[in-house]
């Protein structure tokens, strides 16, 4: 009897060990490969990977926006009869967005950095700083006294937390790129890949270049003018430099302008009116209700956004029921929407990433819709390595004569993708996709195509999108020559350099506060009512917390 009991116990132990062994060999644990059984992150070498990564960290200034499906372009009113926001069903992946619009003090930090690293007194750097300066003259009006804002709005502490204006679309994109590099410097310092003094080295003005995230990932030994070895952090061991990779999970995705679809989804914030997997009703504004005034007991009657209430009425009657602003207002002056985002209606309108077209082509794509893709790749030098730009700063003269830097020293050179990447592909066939299926027959064909054959010479062929062609050039003395296109035959203001801006502003009536409304402006132009905020893509899971099905509702097997 005793022997039989011992046999039974031994059998159970053997089965238990076998099951455990199978489980361990199949799962492998987080540091054992389920593909090969090799150790991951072994001290002896082999495959190294961040197996402890949980989820993407929320970067400075951002708010998490969980993605979902919504109806883009569903406006309550269309008194303008633009026919440019036909409702379409779209899905947006989860992303992050700035809690507020980029403020004057945030932008001044950017200007101060450029001025320190690339002194404008140095002729080769002069246009880097001046090209980033906002146009403070946007405040001027032929019949208005606004010189106080012209002289003070950008730099005076009284306006420090007001949204920056006078910034064109190109400048907003370049600010986003700069912000990406500065935040990733801090992340690498925190994780021990860079020393604490590394980020301040470029500010001494001797290096001539700053940290670039893409250069660090592609050719880390070139960072900080090749001085990266002396600026290593605690991760450096036995005099061997250690660099982070994308697989390290330390480098954050880039700050960028939100797409139009992302911006509209975030502004609507339908999450506040969601019941299970449905939306309750429709929203005209980022807040609940069909009115612009507060209906709650606290603050009843006050405006919920900063906008032009009527002709000559930019701030209401002083005191009672006033929106407390005549021009822009300090950020966070009004309640946030249900995503926690401030000023998604009013204050300033905001640049988004998209190239403008009157029709949204949802037949081509209804997932992360965006028009504006120009696919690039890293340039490879004759030595077979990624080409890092040093002294060859490239400048671009915009149609209005403003000179901006296309690249900064220390960045890697990018070139358009070629047939090696596009050959026999079904998802894209060219580098520049801004005009792909833009929805108008006349945009891709000459609209006088039915004219007599003898009239069809090159001078008579006119396209639907035939915008003015102003020219900026330099004479023999290097002075800028501006030529205005005075032709009366132009048919449109639309081209591939025209960008969408969203949201109402302090200059706009309530009609434009509807998140679905859309307008456009050339990307090189700036105004006193357009600002911007940054966004960042989310990598990994869609949600930060899973919605678990209650036990009582679980489906039985």
Cα–Cα distance, 74 to 76 (Å, whole number): 7
pLDDT value for 11: 57
Q: Are 515 and 264 in contact (CB under 8 A)?
A: yes
Question: For each of the chain's 557 residues, which pLDDT tens digit applies?
Answer: 555 655 555 555 555 555 444 444 445 578 899 999 999 989 888 998 888 898 999 999 999 999 999 999 888 777 777 778 889 999 999 999 999 999 999 999 999 999 999 999 988 898 999 999 999 999 999 999 999 999 999 999 999 999 999 999 999 999 999 999 999 999 999 999 999 889 998 988 777 788 999 999 999 998 998 888 888 888 877 667 789 999 999 999 999 999 999 999 999 998 877 767 766 667 788 988 788 888 777 777 788 899 999 899 898 888 766 888 999 999 999 999 999 999 999 999 999 999 999 888 888 899 999 999 999 999 998 888 888 887 778 888 888 888 899 988 889 999 999 999 999 999 999 999 998 887 655 555 555 555 555 544 444 455 667 788 888 887 887 787 888 888 887 778 888 999 999 999 999 999 999 999 999 999 999 999 999 999 999 999 999 876 554 444 444 44
Q: Supply angle C-alpha 438, 443, 444, rounded to 5.
A: 90
Report the distance separating Cα 128 and Cα 242, nearest Å.
32
Measured CA to CA, the distance from residue 189 to residue 203 in angstroms comes to: 16
DSSP annotation string for 243-272: ---GGGT-SPPPPBPPPHHHHHHHHH-GGG
User: Which of 524, 534, 415 is closest to 175 using CA atoms?
Assistant: 534
Q: Which two tokens stand for residue 95?
A: 């992303």
pLDDT of residue 274: 72
SS3 402: coil
Q: For residue 424, with 0-12 CB atoms within 10 Å meaning exposed, 13-18 middle and 19 or more buried, which class applies?
A: exposed
pLDDT, residue 555, reads 42
CA separation for the pair 258, 186 (Å, rounded): 23
Dmax (CA) of the chain: 112
How high is the pLDDT of residue 242? 87
pLDDT at 523: 96
C-alpha span between 402 and 327 (Å, rounded): 26
Residue 149, classed as helix, strand or coil, is helix
Residue 271 burial class via C-beta count within 10 angstroms: exposed 0-12, middle 13-18, buried 19 and up: middle
Chain-centroid distance, C-alpha 298 = 35
| All domains of the chain in start order, with CATH | 62-435+496-537 (3.90.1580.10)
Closest CA to 284 of 518, 513, 508: 513
Provide the pLDDT for residue 549. Answer: 47
Q: Which of 553, 544, 499, 546 is nearest to 526 (CA)?
A: 499
What pLDDT score does 530 carry?
Answer: 98
d(CA 43, CA 51): 15
What's residue 264's pLDDT? 96
- Which two three-digit tokens encode residue 124? 């080769």
Give the pLDDT of residue 448. 56
pLDDT of residue 550: 46
For the purposes of burial, counting CB atoms within 10 Å of the CB of 468, is it exposed (0-12), middle (13-18) or buried (19 or more)?
middle
Question: Please, how many CA atoms are within 13 Å of residue 16, restricted to the half-sphere of its CB?
Answer: 6
Rg (CA), the chain: 28
Are the C-beta atoms of residues 120 and 131 closer than 8 Å to each other? no
Q: How far apart are CA 229 and CA 205, in angstroms?
A: 19
Q: Which residues pair with 530 in a beta bridge?
A: 349
Chain-centroid distance of CA 170 in Å reads 12
Both tokens of residue 431?
């580098």
Range 76-80, long-range pairs (CB < 8 A, 24+ positions): 76/282, 76/284, 76/290, 76/514, 77/511, 77/514, 79/511, 80/511
Task: Let me know: does 80 contact 520? Beta carbons within 8 Å.
Answer: no
C-alpha to C-alpha distance for 182 and 543, rounded to whole angstroms: 27
CB 223 within 8 A of CB 143: no
**How many Cβ atoms sit within 10 Å of the Cβ of residue 45?**
7
- Which residue carries 């990598």 as its tokens? 539
């Amino acid at each position: 009897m005793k022997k039989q009991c011992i046999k039974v116990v031994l059998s159970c132990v053997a089965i238990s060990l076998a099951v455990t062994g199978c489980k361990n060999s199949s799962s492998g644990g987080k540091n054992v490969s389920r593909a090969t059984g090799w150790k991951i992150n072994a001290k002896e070498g082999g495959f190294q990977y961040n197996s402890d990564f949980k989820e993407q960290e929320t970067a400075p200034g951002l708010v998490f926006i969980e993605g979902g499906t919504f109806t883009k372009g569903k406006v309550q009113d269309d008194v303008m009869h633009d026919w440019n926001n036909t409702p379409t069903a779209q899905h947006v992946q989860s992303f992050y967005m700035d809690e507020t619009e980029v403020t004057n003090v945030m932008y001044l930090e950017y200007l101060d950095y450029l001025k320190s690293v690339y002194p404008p007194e140095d002729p080769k750097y002069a246009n880097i700083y001046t090209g980033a300066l906002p146009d403070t003259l946007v405040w001027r009006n032929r019949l208005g006294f606004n010189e106080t804002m012209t002289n003070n709005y950008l730099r005076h502490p009284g306006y420090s937390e007001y949204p920056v204006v006078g910034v064109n679309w190109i400048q907003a994109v370049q600010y986003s790129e700069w912000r990406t590099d500065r935040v990733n410097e801090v992340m690498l310092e925190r994780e021990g890949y860079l020393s604490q003094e590394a980020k301040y080295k470029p500010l001494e003005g001797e290096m001539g270049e700053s940290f670039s995230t893409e250069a660090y990932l592609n050719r880390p030994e070139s960072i900080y003018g090749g001085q990266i070895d002396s600026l290593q952090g605690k991760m450096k061991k036995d005099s061997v430099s250690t660099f982070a990779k994308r697989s390290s999970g330390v480098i954050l995705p880039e700050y960028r302008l939100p797409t139009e679809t992302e911006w509209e989804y975030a502004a609507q914030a339908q999450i506040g009116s969601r019941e299970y997997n449905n939306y309750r009703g429709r929203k005209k504004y980022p807040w609940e209700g069909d009115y612009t005034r507060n209906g709650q007991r606290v603050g009843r009657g006050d405006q919920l956004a900063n906008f032009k209430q009527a002709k000559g009425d930019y701030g209401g009657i002083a005191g009672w029921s006033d929106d407390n602003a005549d021009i822009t207002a300090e950020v966070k002056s009004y309640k946030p929407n249900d995503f926690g985002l401030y000023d998604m209606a009013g204050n300033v309108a905001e640049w988004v990433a998209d190239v403008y077209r009157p029709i949204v082509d949802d037949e081509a794509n209804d997932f992360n819709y965006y028009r504006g893709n120009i696919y690039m790749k890293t340039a490879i030098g004759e030595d077979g390595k990624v080409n890092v730009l040093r002294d060859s700063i490239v400048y671009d003269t915009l149609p209005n004569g403003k000179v901006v830097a296309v690249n900064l020293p220390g960045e890697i050179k990018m070139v358009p993708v070629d047939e090696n990447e596009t050959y026999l592909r079904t998802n894209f066939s060219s580098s520049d996709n801004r005009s792909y299926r833009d929805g108008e027959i006349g945009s891709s064909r000459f609209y006088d195509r039915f004219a007599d054959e003898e009239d069809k010479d090159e001078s008579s062929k006119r396209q639907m999108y035939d915008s003015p062609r102003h020219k900026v050039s330099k004479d023999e003395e290097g002075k800028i020559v501006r030529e205005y296109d005075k032709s009366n035959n132009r048919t449109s203001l639309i081209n591939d350099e025209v960008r969408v801006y969203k949201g109402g502003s302090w200059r706009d009536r309530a009609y434009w506060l509807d998140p679905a409304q859309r307008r456009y402006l050339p990307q090189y132009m700036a105004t006193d009512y357009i600002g911007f905020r940054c966004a960042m893509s989310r990598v990994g899971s869609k949600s930060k917390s899973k919605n678990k099905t209650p036990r009582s509702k679980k489906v039985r097997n």
